[in-house]
Amino acid sequence: MKAFPIPVVALDPGTQTEDETLNYLVMPKDMDTWRPPVLPEPEALVSRPKARAALGCVLALLDRAAQGEAGGQVSLLDLPATDLQLVNQLLGEGEASALVRTEGSPLEVRIQESVFAGVWRVMSFHAGARVDDVVEVGPIPALLRAAAAEDAESVYQPWRGPLPPNVQNAPLLVEEIRDQTARWQPGHPPYVINLSLLPVTPEDIAFLDHQLGTGRVLMLSRGYGNCRITNTRHPNCWRVVYYNSMDSVILNTVEVVDMPAVAVAAPEDLRDSHTRLGDVLAYLESA
């Protein structure tokens, strides 16, 4: 018998080496969950009648919203400092916030969701001075929808002349988005374009953002990683970008919808908030 011309080598598991290693994008690891506010002693609410009345109005609005009716607003502008401090302590800060600002304008609106989903603090500032302060109950503050609708009234300016270097697929995406915004109607499902899965260059992204325009609304959600939401100058068109804990983009999308779902408090969130705030006030009223 002739010898086998190729030597046979037995390799045990783990003896093979790889020339290249796979580098996976780091996914978010931390998730914000509901944490109850730090509660004062029940006696604190007894000596703060205006704070108690304001929080009672918020609870009543949550009761309506939990049943599918429209919410509303409760003004905090005239509350004494001690009452306002107590309201701030009980509402706390949730995972979502927003900013509405026009470049060059002294007026700025800051919005912060409380620890109770669907309960929003809406504060207006003029040249840094607080001019309005309300608690709004509902899926999303009405101002955000109104500002996005006003921004979409500007006239679209199509690109003229040769395309910038390395811009390849963005012009087709712009036309697709414009077609979808023209077709979209309330009640339609969101139309999502996942830019992370498309063959687009950084120059494509820059061209797309330039053509879509940027509105006055900026929203941040920190429920799972970070999510940045901005409205465009096209109706019902939003840029929604997700980041991991290292601030690297993990999902880059354009959404054609009245309001991205990640920014909206769901009906079950409003019902949970009604129950939780009711429990908090019941504890404080026990005094």
Domain positions in the chain: 36-139+266-287, 140-264
User: What confidence tier does 9 reach under pLDDT thresholds 50, 70, 90?
Assistant: very low
Q: What angle do CA 47, 50, 54 make, to 5 degrees?
A: 130
If you average pLDDT over every residue of the chain, what do you get?
A: 86
In this predicted structure, what is the pLDDT of residue 48? 85
CATH topology of domain 140-264: Ribosomal Protein S8; Chain: A, domain 1 (3.30.1370)
Q: Do domains 36-139+266-287 and 140-264 have the same CATH topology?
A: yes
Encode pLDDT of 77-132 as tens digits. Answer: 999 999 999 999 999 999 899 999 888 889 999 999 999 999 999 999 999 999 99
Angle formed by the axes of helices 49-66 and 267-285, to 10°?
Answer: 150
Encode pLDDT of 144-168 as tens digits. Answer: 999 999 998 766 677 888 899 999 9
The pLDDT > 90 percentage for the chain reads 67
- Is residue 254 predicted with pLDDT exceeding 70? yes
Encode pLDDT of 54-85 as tens digits. Answer: 999 999 999 999 888 998 999 999 999 999 99
What CATH class does 36-139+266-287 carry?
alpha beta
In this predicted structure, what is the pLDDT of residue 154? 67
Encode pLDDT of 263-277 as tens digits. Answer: 999 999 999 999 999
> What is the C-alpha to C-alpha distance for residues 95 and 224, in angstroms, rounded to an integer?
9
CA 173 to chain centroid, in Å, comes to 24
Cα within 13 Å of Cα(157), Cβ side: 7
Cα within 13 Å of Cα(168), Cβ side: 6
Token pair, residue 135, equals: 């608690």
pTM of the model: 0.82
Residue burial 42-78, b: 16+ Cβ < 10 Å; e: rest: eebbeebebbbebbebbbebbbbbbeeeebbbbebee
